[in-house]
């Protein structure tokens, strides 16, 4: 190949500088690729990763409680403080919610995604896509506020429970420590419901995409080899949709870990990680502590991803 290139080829057209430039790009595909990639790499590297690393670096700075001043003296005190009972509580609370929300979203999303992928075509499929995505068009804050009203004392949710005569059930659920609260809108349960509602589309779409890629002949092959529908589901459909469930749960898990608005509007008092970061860097001005808290979701998601990978979720990709 290089031989052919070194031989002085007959010049078909020396042409304009633009022509020579495009010829150069054609002959050197690596240069072409570099020119295309450098701008997004600069954006991603400097602005995105750079600022994140800059933020985490500040986690090593010292915050003076008396003067409220930040000095660039490096210390591990902020990270050690994450393990104070008060701070550790926040982390556990957020993590528990993120796990619960991810599991519930997956359980709710799977049948919807399965129906969309396997039983709808044409207009019905378009309808489902719009139905799933439409809630995402509305402002997130508006939806969260709407839920505070829906779940409030005397709100729609409570009326609905009354009509169905399920008040004892609701009272029982609200009485469970760690789940309940005085009303739905101030309970962990209410907060959980709002989270599941808001993040559900992020779970439906990746599962739907993974089921869409499943060739129908695999299901036929399974039945042909003697598998009952239940066996086909457990042995073929579920394992092959795990990448979709994993992708969706990465959304629901990380979005719940970082959220600071829903916990503020719905549910009992007590910070989530996001709220704590917001409070530390805003009202308190303790940027190093906020930076230390920022590290928590990153580490948790890294751990989560490695568990998911170890379970073989990405093998079928």
- From 18-26, 72-80, 104-112, 233-241, give the range in contact with another protein by CB under 8 A: 233-241
Query: Smallest distance from the beta carbon of 238 to another protein, in angstroms?
Result: 10
Q: Which is nearer to another protein, 234 or 302 (CB)?
A: 234
Q: Which is nearer to another protein, 210 or 281 (CB)?
A: 210
Q: Which is nearer to another protein, 25 or 236 (CB)?
A: 236
Q: Alpha-carbon distance 202 to 94, whole Å?
A: 19
Q: Kindly report each contact of residues 9-15 with a partner whose C-beta sits within 8 Å and lies 24 or more positions away, as own/partner.
A: none
Pairing of strands 62-63, 70-71: antiparallel
Q: Which is nearer to another protein, 67 or 217 (CB)?
A: 217
Site for another protein in 235-254 (CB under 8 A): 235-236, 239-240
Q: Does 295 bind another protein (CB under 8 A)?
A: no
Q: Alpha-carbon distance 244 to 205, whole Å?
A: 8
Query: Smallest distance from the beta carbon of 307 to another protein, in angstroms?
Result: 18
Single out the residue of 64, 167, 212, 315 in contact with another protein (rule: CB under 8 A). Answer: 315
- From 11-19, 118-126, 203-211, 214-222, give the range in contact with another protein by CB under 8 A: 214-222
Q: Which is nearer to another protein, 283 or 317 (CB)?
A: 317
Q: Is 63 helix (H, G, I), strand (E, B) or coil?
A: strand
Q: Does 217 bind another protein (CB under 8 A)?
A: yes
Site for another protein in 106-165 (CB under 8 A): none
Q: 62 — phi, psi (to 5°)?
A: -100, 135
CA distances from 154 to 176, 193, 229 (A): 21, 18, 45
Contacts of 232 (CB under 8 A, 6+ apart): 219, 222, 223
Single out the residue of 225, 303, 307, 311 in contact with another protein (rule: CB under 8 A). Answer: 225
Q: Which is nearer to another protein, 38 or 221 (CB)?
A: 221
Residue 198's nearest CA partner among 273, 125, 251 is 251
Single out the residue of 69, 169, 221, 302 in contact with another protein (rule: CB under 8 A). Answer: 221
- From 62-70, 222-230, 248-256, 278-286, give the range in contact with another protein by CB under 8 A: 222-230
Size of the site for another protein (CB under 8 A): 19
Residue 195's nearest CA partner among 245, 137, 257 is 257
**CB burial of residue 226 (10 Å; 0-12, 13-18, 19+):** exposed
Partnered with residue 63 across adjacent β-strands are 70
Partnered with residue 147 across adjacent β-strands are none
Single out the residue of 34, 49, 166, 218 in contact with another protein (rule: CB under 8 A). Answer: 218
Element (H, E) at 238: helix 238-258
Give the binding site for another protein (CB under 8 A): 215, 217-218, 220-228, 231, 235-236, 239-240, 315-316
């Amino acid at each position: 190949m290089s031989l052919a290139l070194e031989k002085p080829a007959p010049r078909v057209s020396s042409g304009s500088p633009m022509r020579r430039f495009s010829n150069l790009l054609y002959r050197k595909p690596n240069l072409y690729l570099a020119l295309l990639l450098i701008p997004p790499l600069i954006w991603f590297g400097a602005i995105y990763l750079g600022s994140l690393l800059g933020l985490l670096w500040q986690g090593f700075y010292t915050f003076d409680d008396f003067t409220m001043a930040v000095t660039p003296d490096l210390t591990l005190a902020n990270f050690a403080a994450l393990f104070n009972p008060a701070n550790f509580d926040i982390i556990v609370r957020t993590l528990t919610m993120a796990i619960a929300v991810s599991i519930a979203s997956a359980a709710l999303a799977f049948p919807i995604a399965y129906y969309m992928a396997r039983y709808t075509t044409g207009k019905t499929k378009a309808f489902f896509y719009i139905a799933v995505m439409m809630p995402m068009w509305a402002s997130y804050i508006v939806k969260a506020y709407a839920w505070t009203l829906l779940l409030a004392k005397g709100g729609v949710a409570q009326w609905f429970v009354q009509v169905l005569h399920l008040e004892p059930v609701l009272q029982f659920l609200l009485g469970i420590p760690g789940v309940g609260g005085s009303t739905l809108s101030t309970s962990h349960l209410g907060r959980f419901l709002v989270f599941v509602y808001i993040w559900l589309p992020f779970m439906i779409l990746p599962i739907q995409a993974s089921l869409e890629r499943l060739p129908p002949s695999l299901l036929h092959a399974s039945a042909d080899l003697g598998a009952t529908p239940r066996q086909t589901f457990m042995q073929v459909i579920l394992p092959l949709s795990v990448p979709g469930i994993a992708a969706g749960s990465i959304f629901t898990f990380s979005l719940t870990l970082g959220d600071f608005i829903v916990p503020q509007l719905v549910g009992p008092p007590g910070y989530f990680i996001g709220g704590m970061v917001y409070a530390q860097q805003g009202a308190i001005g303790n940027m190093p502590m906020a930076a230390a808290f920022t590290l928590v979701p990153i580490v948790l998601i890294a751990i989560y991803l490695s568990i998911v990978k170890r379970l073989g979720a990405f093998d079928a990709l």
